[in-house]
Structures are given as C-alpha cells and as structure tokens.
C-alpha cells in the first residue's frame, strides 16, 4: 500500500493528532485557509517525513488505524505477528527494532526505503596521541596564573573566561604542562554531556600532538564506553558525569583507585561543582589518598544562581575563593576586547515585551519566590499563549530579513514544535529539535542548519542546544524561554555570538522575550561580572 494513499484516509481529527493541536490552533488563528486537510497533510510530511512518521511509535499507531481491514490483515501476516488479539491491536503493539527484518518489511509494505541508521565513528576507549599549540597573550597570562595557583595550598582554582575566549584551548595547555611535569600521572576531565566529552577528548588529542613529550593514554569513559582500570595510569581520562557517578555508586573502590593515580581534576561547566553528583565524585578524587591533588574549574559564569547568594557563596568557597579571570590591559571587561578583536560578534540586545494573556496567580508567585527556576506549569502556560506566540512569529519573520541562521529557544518541547510548524507553513525553512526528536533526524536537522548555504534557516529547540552545539554562522537568537538562571541565559546567548575571526559573524542579534512579572537578563557582559563580590 502506498504511504500517500494511507495518509489520504486521515480525517480532520486524525490529522490533528498527527500534527498536534497547538500548531493547528495557531494556524487557524493566523489564517484558516492555511489549514485545509490537503495542506495539513503536506505540512505533516514536510515536518516529519513519511519515514519519520513510521519510526515514531505514537504516530505509527495512529497510522495503523487508518489501514483498511484487508490491508491491515496483509501487513499482519507480512510482519508474522501472533494471533492473540485482533489485527489492529497486534499491529499497534508490535515492536520495530532499528535494522530488523520486521522494520524492513513494514517499510517495503508502504513502498518506502528504510532510512539509513546514522553511523558514528566509535573511537576506542584508549587511543595513543603524540606530540605546537599556540595561545594569545591574554591566554598565556591566564595559563601562568592558573598554574601558579595550582602549585600552592589549597591547590584549587576556578578559571573564569567568557564564551569564545578560548577556555578549552587554555585548559589543554595547562593539562599538557601538568602531564609533562608529572610522569607518570593521571588527569581526569569531567563533563556533563557526551558531546562535551567528545569535544574535549578530540581537542586534547590535537593539542598533545604539538605539546606532548611522550606517548600517553586518552581514556574515554562515557555512554557505552568502558575502560580497563588496570590500564589507566598515565594520561587523560575524560569522564561523563552520569557514567562516573554510576560507577562510583556501584563500587566505591572504582573511584578510590582512580583517586590514587590522579594529580589533577578538571571540571567543565564548573558552576555545577557543588551539585550532589559532582560532590560525591570530587570528594573522592581531591580529598582522599594522593597528597595535594589539584582541582581546576572552567566556566563562563562563576555562579549557579541569579539571586541566591548563599548557593553562589558555596560555589566560591568550594574553590577557596580562588578565581583567575581573563585580564586585558586597557579593558575593564574582557568581552569588550574580544569584540574589538572579532573573537566575539558585536551583539545587539533587544527585548520583546509581552504582557499576553498569562496572568500569575498567588500560587505562581510563591513558586517563583521559592524555586531556583521557572516552574514547568508556568512555562507550559506561556507556551500555549497564542498572543505571545503570534508576537514571536512576527519577530522571527522580521529577523529573517537580516539573518540567514536563527536559533529559537522555546519554553517547552511542544512550544518548539508549534513554532517550527507555523513557520514551515508560512514558507520558511524551519525545524524543531528536542530531546524527543529521534537522534538520526535531530543530527540531520542540525547538520542542515550548520551548512553554509544562502537560504534562511530557523532552528527551534528546547533543552538540547545550550551546550555542546557549535554553529558559527548563527547570527541571531530569539530566547522565548524565561529563566532565573543567568548561567542558562548566558549559554543560550553564547550559541549565536561567535566572531568573524573564528568563523562567525561581525555582528549578532539577541531578542529576549520579556514576560511581565518574570525575571530576565540583558547581556553576557552583564553576566560576566555578576558574581564578583562573592569571590572577593
């Protein structure tokens, strides 16, 4: 049966289930003529593709209900399903493992090709890297001050450099210097996502080719990768937070053995250092057996919160109030220097003020006062605010006249999907990526967004592009997700301000949706100095 014939059987209610009620409602508000059944079918295929619909368990079940009984019976036999229940129940309960014969049979039945599974190059857990990796003057100064701090009690320091200033490159020089001075020894790098782990591992391999003085191990320990502990002695171990925490909880001897061989621990995104998961690992690594273990934190935002000074003080005290900040002669703020030298784009911040129809109740206000972040219930209501969404769509259409690559940070998963659907229907090349987007499709959308092509592309997302995402051509971001976290706000802004000298743009535009009665921020330069008082 042709897939197009199957989809043509969908009535209005089924089409609404496949597309989603929110985008359909907004389309009807904009222009009812945009929401004819045929146009909705075309929109569903443009957004999800026929293959993507079949790969989605929820949408696949809806599609199976559209099959004529005879076709359903044939598909049931083709898939060799049991006869325990009726035909449609068996089809909807069937499992389709990626790459399986059953999956191939289903796609053959609908006359479609099975999408190729994305093949990631799996580098081995241990890889040999052998050894010039230059730094700018301000970066070399930061290296000298960090190294000096790590040589004296309390042997811990936080390196505070803004996004785009070369924090990782500076850290790799510090690690290489440490490995050359201490032989054999183990350095551990901790990060909270697999993308950040792989970026760090690959960057170190490049650095050690120029800076190394011997063959050492590069140990990858995250995701499904495992390491042989008795082989881990001399080199750099990159550990995913979740993997390290799980291994430590299962067997404390694991972290204790590593601690006995480790002389330097690096924490990426160090504002998370006092979180429970990090503290368990760090207490074992830097407060246990080996004398004078060193601890280096890396961050663009040396605080965890915007308004809770006690939590921020705890972070400061964890690093013994020792902080090395990028210092540039004749500049009060290093971000001004980075902009002048085109490492960062000249950023224009604008606000999209919107009162909308979302009113805060007394309960909402109490939650805002007592929570570190905006409650999900409030974010959900904002995402469903049609007037707010119309203002966002209008602003994005304005941005397309000045920018080729635009990032949108939505308030919820549904919000990202709604905005992308409406933009697509209005003729823009728009996509939505969230944690629920299948990995293969998410990677394809991100790669298309990153390509240097002339058309305007808009990428809406929720929760997946704040760290570990590098698309230098991005020159505009619309932040529709309110947050009390200056860290999160800085991370979102950082995705769009790469300068021309490092493959980005001369200028960038950040639009922040300001919802009345909710907190908001204005610039990364403002964030850079926000926590200075707690480190004095």
What's the CATH code of the domain at 514?
3.40.50.300
Phi, psi of 528, deg, nearest 5: -60, -40
In this predicted structure, what is the pLDDT of residue 129?
Answer: 67
Beginning with the edge strand found earlier in the chain, give each strand of the sheet holding 294-299 in spatial order: 126-129, 216-221, 235-240, 186-191, 262-267, 294-299, 156-160, 323-325
Structure tokens at 413: 């998963």
Q: Where are the beta strands (DSSP E) in 95-252?
A: 126-129, 156-160, 186-191, 216-221, 235-240
Among 265, 290, 325, give the residue marking a domain's end.
325
In this predicted structure, what is the pLDDT of residue 130?
Answer: 54
* CA distances to 129, 146, 407 from 213, in Å: 10, 21, 42
Dist CA 234 CA 182 (whole Å): 9
In this predicted structure, what is the pLDDT of residue 389?
Answer: 92
Q: Are residues 100 and 239 in the same domain?
A: no
Q: Are residues 202 and 65 in the same domain?
A: no
- In-domain check, residue 38: yes
pLDDT at 237 over 60: yes
Q: Are residues 155 and 235 in the same domain?
A: yes
pLDDT band at 524 (very low <50, low <70, confident <90, very high): low
pLDDT at 83 over 70: yes
Region 523-529 average pLDDT: 54
pLDDT at 240 over 70: yes
Q: Are residues 35 and 139 in the same domain?
A: no
In this predicted structure, what is the pLDDT of residue 523?
Answer: 59
pLDDT band at 50 (very low <50, low <70, confident <90, very high): very high
Average pLDDT value over all residues in the chain: 85
- In-domain check, residue 33: yes
User: Between 352 and 277, whose confidence is greater?
Assistant: 352
pLDDT at 535 over 60: no
User: Between 454 and 291, whose confidence is greater?
Assistant: 454
Dist CA 339 CA 405 (whole Å): 20
Q: Are residues 274 and 346 in the same domain?
A: no
328-349 CB burial, b ≥16 within 10 A, e <16: beeeeebbebbbeeebbbebeb
Q: Are residues 314 and 262 in the same domain?
A: yes
In this predicted structure, what is the pLDDT of residue 205?
Answer: 95
pLDDT at 488 over 80: no
In this predicted structure, what is the pLDDT of residue 479?
Answer: 92
Region 16-29 average pLDDT: 86
Q: Are residues 201 and 57 in the same domain?
A: no
Tokens 């050894």 -> residue: 131
Cis before 335? omega within 30: no
Least confident of 73-77, 251-255, 367-371: 367-371
CA angle 69, 72, 76 (to 5 degrees): 140
Q: Are residues 87 and 51 in the same domain?
A: yes
pLDDT at 87 over 70: yes
Among 62, 77, 109, give the residue marking a domain's end.
109
Dist CA 500 CA 343 (whole Å): 7
Region 292-320 average pLDDT: 73
Q: Are residues 386 and 297 in the same domain?
A: no
Q: Are residues 104 and 204 in the same domain?
A: no
Please state, for a pLDDT cut of 70, what percent of the chain lies above it: 87
Dist CA 291 CA 262 (whole Å): 10
Structure tokens at 282: 């760090």
How do residues 375-432 score in pLDDT, each as one tens digit? 778 788 888 889 889 999 999 999 999 999 999 999 999 999 999 999 999 999 999 9
The highest-confidence range among 338-342, 466-470, 486-490, by mean pLDDT, is: 338-342
- In-domain check, residue 118: no
Cβ contacts of 48 within 8 Å, gap of 6 or more: 18, 56, 59
pLDDT at 188 over 90: yes
Q: Are residues 144 and 238 in the same domain?
A: yes
In this predicted structure, what is the pLDDT of residue 251?
Answer: 86
Cis before 159? omega within 30: no
With beta carbons less than 8 A apart as the criterion, state whether 10 and 67 touch.
no
- In-domain check, residue 333: no
Structural domain of 18: 3-109
With beta carbons less than 8 A apart as the criterion, state whether 267 and 278 touch.
yes
Dist CA 407 CA 36 (whole Å): 29
In this predicted structure, what is the pLDDT of residue 309?
Answer: 61
Region 180-190 average pLDDT: 94
pLDDT at 243 over 70: yes
In this predicted structure, what is the pLDDT of residue 27?
Answer: 83
Task: Check residue 471 and give left, alpha or beta (phi > 0: left; psi -120 to 50: alpha).
Answer: beta
Region 224-237 average pLDDT: 92
Dist CA 347 CA 495 (whole Å): 12
With beta carbons less than 8 A apart as the criterion, state whether 76 and 87 touch.
yes
Number of domains, the chain: 3
- In-domain check, residue 483: yes
Burial class (CB in 10 A: 0-12, 13-18, 19+), 186: buried
| CA 282 to the chain's CA centroid | 24
pLDDT band at 493 (very low <50, low <70, confident <90, very high): confident
pLDDT band at 534 (very low <50, low <70, confident <90, very high): very low
- CA nearest neighbour of 467 among 486, 493, 447: 493
With beta carbons less than 8 A apart as the criterion, state whether 114 and 107 touch.
yes
What are the beta bridge partners of residue 461? 409, 433
Among 280, 298, 325, give the residue marking a domain's end.
325
- In-domain check, residue 134: yes
Q: Are residues 156 and 239 in the same domain?
A: yes
User: Between 333 and 45, whose confidence is greater?
Assistant: 45
In this predicted structure, what is the pLDDT of residue 333?
Answer: 80
- In-domain check, residue 332: no
Length of the chain: 536
With beta carbons less than 8 A apart as the criterion, state whether 266 and 230 touch.
no
In this predicted structure, what is the pLDDT of residue 195?
Answer: 75
With beta carbons less than 8 A apart as the criterion, state whether 372 and 485 touch.
yes
Region 464-483 average pLDDT: 84
Pairing of strands 126-129, 216-221: antiparallel
* CB under 8 A, 24+ apart: contacts of 111-119: 111/1, 111/2, 111/3, 112/3, 112/50, 112/51, 112/54, 113/51, 114/51, 115/51, 115/55, 115/440, 117/440, 118/439, 118/440, 118/443, 118/444
How do residues 255-267 score in pLDDT, each as one tens digit? 889 988 999 999 8
CA trace torsion 440, 441, 445, 446 (10° rounding): -40
Look up the pTM and report it: 0.70
pLDDT at 142 over 90: yes
Tokens 């171990």 -> residue: 237
Dist CA 217 CA 330 (whole Å): 42
- In-domain check, residue 505: yes
In this predicted structure, what is the pLDDT of residue 22?
Answer: 86
In this predicted structure, what is the pLDDT of residue 532?
Answer: 47
How do residues 336-368 score in pLDDT, each as one tens digit? 888 898 888 998 988 888 776 556 666 665 655
Stretch (H or E) spanning 457: strand 457-462
């Amino acid at each position: 049966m042709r897939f197009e014939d199957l989809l043509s059987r969908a009535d209005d209610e089924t089409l609404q289930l496949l597309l989603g009620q929110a985008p359909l409602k907004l389309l009807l508000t904009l222009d009812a003529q945009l929401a004819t059944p045929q146009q909705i079918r075309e929109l569903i295929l443009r957004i999800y593709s026929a293959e993507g619909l079949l790969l989605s368990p929820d949408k696949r079940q809806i599609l199976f209900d559209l099959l004529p009984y005879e076709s359903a019976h044939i598909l049931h036999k083709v898939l060799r399903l049991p006869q325990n229940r009726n035909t449609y129940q068996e089809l909807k309960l069937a499992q389709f493992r990626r790459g399986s014969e059953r999956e191939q049979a289903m796609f053959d039945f609908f006359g479609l090709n099975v999408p190729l599974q994305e093949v990631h190059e799996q580098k081995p857990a241990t890889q040999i890297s052998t050894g010039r990796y230059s730094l700018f003057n301000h970066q070399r100064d930061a290296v000298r001050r960090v190294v000096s701090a790590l040589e004296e009690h309390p042997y811990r320091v936080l390196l505070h450099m803004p996004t785009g200033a070369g924090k990782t490159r500076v850290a790799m020089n510090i690690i290489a210097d440490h490995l050359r001075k201490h032989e054999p020894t183990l350095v551990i790098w901790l990060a909270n996502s697999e993308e950040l782990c792989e970026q760090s591992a690959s960057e170190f391999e490049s650095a050690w080719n120029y800076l190394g003085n011997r063959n050492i191990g590069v140990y990858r320990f995250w995701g499904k990768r495992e390491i042989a502990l008795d082989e881990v002695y001399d080199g750099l171990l990159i550990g995913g937070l979740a993997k390290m925490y799980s291994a430590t909880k299962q067997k404390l001897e694991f972290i204790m053995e590593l601690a006995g061989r480790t002389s330097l621990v690096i924490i990426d995104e160090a504002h998370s250092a006092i979180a429970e998961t990090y503290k368990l690992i760090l207490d074992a690594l830097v407060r246990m057996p080996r004398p004078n273990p060193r601890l280096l934190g890396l961050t663009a935002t040396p605080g965890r919160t915007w308004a809770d000074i006690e939590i921020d003080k705890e972070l400061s005290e964890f690093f013994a109030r020792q902080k090395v900040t990028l210092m540039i002669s004749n500049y009060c703020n290093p971000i001004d220097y980075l902009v002048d030298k085109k490492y960062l784009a000249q950023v224009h911040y604008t606000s999209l003020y919107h009162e909308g129809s979302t009113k805060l109740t007394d309960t909402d206000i109490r939650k805002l006062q007592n929570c570190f972040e905006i409650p999900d219930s409030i974010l959900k209501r904002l995402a469903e605010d049609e007037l707010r969404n119309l203002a966002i769509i209008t602003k994005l259409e304005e941005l397309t006249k000045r920018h080729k690559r635009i990032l949108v940070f939505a308030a919820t998963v549904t919000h990202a999907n709604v905005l992308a659907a409406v933009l697509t229907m209005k003729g823009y090349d728009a996509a939505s990526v969230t944690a629920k987007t299948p990995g293969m499709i998410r990677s394809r959308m991100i790669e298309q967004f990153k390509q240097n092509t002339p058309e305007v592309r808009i990428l809406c997302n929720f929760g997946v592009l704040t760290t570990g995402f590098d698309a230098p051509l991005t020159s505009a971001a619309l932040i529709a997700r309110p947050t009390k976290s200056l860290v999160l706000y800085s991370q979102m802004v950082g995705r769009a301000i790469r300068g021309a000298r490092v493959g980005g743009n001369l200028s960038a535009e950040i639009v922040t949706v300001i919802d009345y009665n909710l907190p908001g921020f204005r610039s990364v330069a403002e964030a850079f100095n926000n926590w200075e008082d707690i480190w004095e």
